[in-house]
Amino acid sequence: MTQFHGGARTVWDASAISRALTRMAHQIIEANAGAEGLTLLGIPTRGAPLAHRFARLIGEAEGVEVPVGELDVTMYRDDLRRQPVRPVGRTRVPRDSVDDRVVVLVDDVLNSGRTIAAALEAIKDLGRPQAVRLAVLVDRGHRELPIQADHVGKDLPTSRAERVDVHLSEVDGEDGVLIATGEEG
């Protein structure tokens, strides 16, 4: 399924994303032997709605409410000197905290690994989880740090000249994964 959308190539539509999220939610449940002790932390912008979708899917499968939060990593990034002007987002931690819980970090695209490294630093300021796992919708490669996702929706090898854009209805009005040629994203 390849469509073109405003100069970008659509590689995944809403139904493909939905199937991947359902599969990944079940993988998260399986890896944790249930939903007990799970906390989902989405990395804004698109990781946060993905975390909420996982919480709903896991909740439906397990009959429990899974705590969800948002983890802003802006001040933990190692490239602040290069791009010092950035809007700082808000971190929202569920009332259950992260202490002694299995935290699943959720993001839309895994590329260099630097955002996830920043997230790991940010989590240390929040408490001490039992374990931290990573769920990403798209893994495009190009790792600069030794970081690997535990749960991946789609491995999507790309060139550095290509940009992967994840669109989610909560942010963009529609779901889709697109590849565009241009500046690295």
φ/ψ (deg, to 5) at 75:
-75, -5
| Cβ contact 49:171 at 8 Å | yes
Q: What tokens were used for 53?
A: 């979708």
Write the pLDDT tens digit of every residue in 98-119: 999 999 999 999 999 999 999 9
At residue 78, the pLDDT reads 83
pLDDT for the residue 3: 56
* pLDDT given at position 159: 93
Return the structure tokens found at 72.
Answer: 């802003």
| CA angle 59–55–68, rounded 5-degree value | 125
Q: What is the pLDDT of residue 70?
A: 96
pLDDT band at 184 (very low <50, low <70, confident <90, very high): very low
**Which residue, among 79, 149, 72, has the nearest Cα to 111 in the 3D structure?**
149
Question: Which tens digit of pLDDT belongs to each residue from 111-152?
Answer: 999 999 999 999 999 999 999 999 999 999 999 999 999 999
Q: Which domains does the chain have, with CATH numbers?
A: 3-80+89-181 (3.40.50.2020)
pLDDT for 81 equals 65
Task: Report which of 119, 85, 90, 106 is spatially closest to residue 38, judged by C-alpha positions.
Answer: 106
143 Cβ contact list (under 8 Å, min separation 6): 111, 112, 113
When pLDDT is cut at 50, 70 and 90, the band that residue 80 belongs to is low
Instruction: For the chain, give the percent of residues with pLDDT over 90.
Output: 79
Residue 185 has pLDDT above 50, yes or no: no
Cα 162 from chain centre? 19
